[in-house]
Structure 1
């Protein structure tokens, strides 16, 4: 479903009673036009052709008149007051782009070179383009052949996925075959942990027996076909419009992104927890343009001029912060800055404390975000406070914030899980502090270690070590990452083999 069809399917009015003004406005307009056009100024004793030459404006009866502009303006204002809407207000804690689990088929058939440089390498290129297009969106990677494996769990950082994507080849897969059902199960588990999302399958074929699994999957599924033009596959053909053929340009990736996001947004619209977004203010723009007609010479109505004058002299709050304040509210300006990912600027513009706190959190101003969100008494605000405290290493405050979120809404998504993780962090920190009294401190290799130890277990300790000691016998972070990048295939081969062995052992028990 396209974005347009999706919007049309959920379009409605928040305050439909205002639409009762529509027949009243149309009726007044019709009566005024009828009275104007029905005037007969012909007089007896004057020839019709002479009377027509003497009259002014007789031939303008069917042209646009001031009453037409007034009626149209009033209709727009009535529609705006009715509150048209076709989307919900964005939830700052929910990504507006779909979390996507990318499933890549890694079999010997994908090594075919009928698509240059090969089906597998072109598929990797398309996945990289897809991740670049979805910058900031949460993505995960699953690879499958005779067995399926989660290569990288869901993450917002595409750079984490890329080195592992490069290391995938049929040689690293421990078992030959094409077990898509197992891959679907792995991907579904990733998406369920995200609370919803979509699946992208990159493959050169699908077993017809797996078609029903795709069609009944609980998440939207799109397929990027890695087959050359003219090559057919029974399984892919059976999926119909779910399949998009690989293209030399980026049109296939853009289409996939639109398809998956539209399906995801449809599921977000079904979430009754988020309020609908009032789109009525959008109709103020065409109404304002119609008001410009009143500056046209001869375009006047006595009562219309009075209404327009009242609009101009209506008292309001004076602002002189810039031209943008004439057209957008502070929250609208903040939203524009937020959409540009200028979170610092957004935090300065937002008037709504919830959005301002969320923008501060995204900008890394965690302590300020906690203070601002103290003004909001909702589970959502407490959740953001908890995340801010954890990022700010105030772990016990994070525990309290997550507990507050659960108090306000026991079913708030993710609050219970985050509370458990925060408690584990606090327990670990306190255990580490207790161990400081008995363990040899020379084994620590941090430059500056500071713990959130509110219970004062053990001694408060800050360790400063010279840089040269920390480097003895250890690779630098850059060296370690480089070694991982160059040996990713070997690492994946060992990991996949271990996972497949463990799965087989569990199946025999």
Structure 2
């Protein structure tokens, strides 16, 4: 599987480079004017001219022409809009979901990779979890059967105890069913609005199953971390395989693949745009502009140091100075990029950005109020998210319906509407149950006790041993289990394997 380039550097407005032509022409003209030999060579003989010219002593000296030209070129590059990454929508997760599929087959006990292939694989998963702070990660283990160890979660401390307890002897069946494991991982990524990534950590695949494994990943990207020694490499048809390394080079490679695929999936699902990075060049262009109006460099540098010297200023003076140079939206964007969303929502004039800042500041009421002023599909989608957080589920569903009326194939709106509908149904169900449980308040006075005269002594009963094969018994056992993670997984996997449908052999 081919991998997209992690950086797609290009310019958003390349026609601005045409402005460099007059800059280059003017620079060449000024340099020609500064050439005294060329100017006087037309009227004075060359033999005499070399004795008449007074040349300055050689030393380090900045030519103002070069400074002006460099400042103009930097400004033109900034205006051309250099970019190499996409800007994600403000309401979309910026961390890629990852399902890790770990082989726990007997061959993983081989010690050609110290201490064993399985132990090294668990160490690599631990390092990958540490590198993905705040990102959602799930874990599937497989041998002859596939089992979910942990669904997607952003808390790696929940996964690590179960990861450490994975051994080959807790698996109910021995084998190498990678297809079922990848398919199970893909099922848990179906609810994601955009495709995620499945990381298969294995030392080998059953012969002839490469195409089936790739197909089982469905829309999600599939990356393989090969735990086999070089002499037992994975099939060559799996081009997107990363070999395990003694350092963290394999972890960095996996991270790049996961993030690159997720950005591509986000772009396909939400239509993200390229982020203009030209603002980084404003500072060097301004520095060259400071040096332009003086022939030397001493005075401008003294002025620059004076401007950089910290000075105490009151809040009113600081606000006045900012208002003099920056618009409210620019001030809000600075606070937003700094993570100060509370200040950003007070600064923005643009209702969309004001609502986004309020949303990030967890002020969902203010966010909804701002989003109501926007009639575009983006504004209605944002309104639905804000109303959902306000538990105004009916209003949220109406906002998503407004989006789908204009964009029927909006995946994010369909996904969020389904979640809100489930939450609304759960709330209504709970309300009905409470009404049925308490139809009327009892007619009792405070501190009054009534005794049923017909009450009889209860009889003793023997509770039968729990049958984990009966419906509902498994869930009850899971809630009561108090054991080590390894024993827990062994029992869980055994129950799942026993409950799995068995295929009858064909006659």
| 1:148–1:186 contact (8 Å) kept in structure 2 | yes
- Which residue number corresponds to residue 224 of structure 1? 225
1:242 aligns with 2:262: no
1:382 aligns with 2:380: yes
Shift of 1:92: 1.9
Shift of 1:102: 0.7
**Structure 1 residues 331 and 150, CA, compared in 2 at 3 Å: closer, same or farther?**
farther
Tell me the distance in 1 between the aligned counterparts of 2:27 and 2:504.
Answer: 78
Secondary structure of the 1:6 match is coil
Shift of 1:395: 2.8
| 1:85–1:278 contact (8 Å) kept in structure 2 | yes
Correspondence for 2:398 among 397, 400, 424: 400
1:500 aligns with 2:491: no
**Structure 1 residues 254 and 44, CA, compared in 2 at 3 Å: closer, same or farther?**
closer
How does the TM-score come out when normalised to structure 2?
A: 0.73
Shift of 1:103: 0.8
Stretches of structure 2 that go unaligned for 5 or more consecutive residues are: 298-315, 442-476
Stretches of structure 1 that go unaligned for 5 or more consecutive residues are: 300-317, 442-457, 460-479
Q: Deviations over 1:432-481 (max 9, x none)?
A: 4334344258xxxxxxxxxxxxxxxx99xxxxxxxxxxxxxxxxxxxx99
Correspondence for 1:257 among 255, 267, 286: 255
Secondary structure of the 1:91 match is coil
| 1:181–1:213 contact (8 Å) kept in structure 2 | yes
Tell me the distance in 1 between the aligned counterparts of 2:86 and 2:272.
Answer: 6
| 2:140–2:149 contact (8 Å) kept in structure 1 | yes
- Larger Rg, first or second structure (1 or 2): 2
**Structure 1 residues 90 and 435, CA, compared in 2 at 3 Å: closer, same or farther?**
closer
Tell me the distance in 2 between the aligned counterparts of 1:349 and 1:329.
Answer: 9
Correspondence for 1:184 among 182, 185, 201: 182
Correspondence for 1:79 among 77, 80, 91: 77
Tell me the distance in 2 between the aligned counterparts of 1:174 and 1:323.
Answer: 70
| 1:211–1:235 contact (8 Å) kept in structure 2 | no
How does the TM-score come out when normalised to structure 1?
A: 0.72
- Which residue number corresponds to residue 40 of structure 1? 40
Correspondence for 2:408 among 372, 386, 410: 410
| 1:246–1:252 contact (8 Å) kept in structure 2 | yes
Tell me the distance in 2 between the aligned counterparts of 1:3 and 1:234.
Answer: 20
Larger deviation, residues 83-92 vs 425-434: 425-434
Tell me the distance in 2 between the aligned counterparts of 1:333 and 1:415.
Answer: 29
Shift of 1:388: 3.7
What is the RMSD of the two structures over their aligned residues, measured on CA atoms?
4.2
- Which residue number corresponds to residue 148 of structure 2? 150
Q: Deviations over 1:134-186 (max 9, x none)?
A: 12212222211112223333333334433443443333322210111222222
| 1:244–1:256 contact (8 Å) kept in structure 2 | no
**Structure 1 residues 44 and 283, CA, compared in 2 at 3 Å: closer, same or farther?**
same
Larger deviation, residues 195-204 vs 414-423: 414-423
Shift of 1:374: 2.4
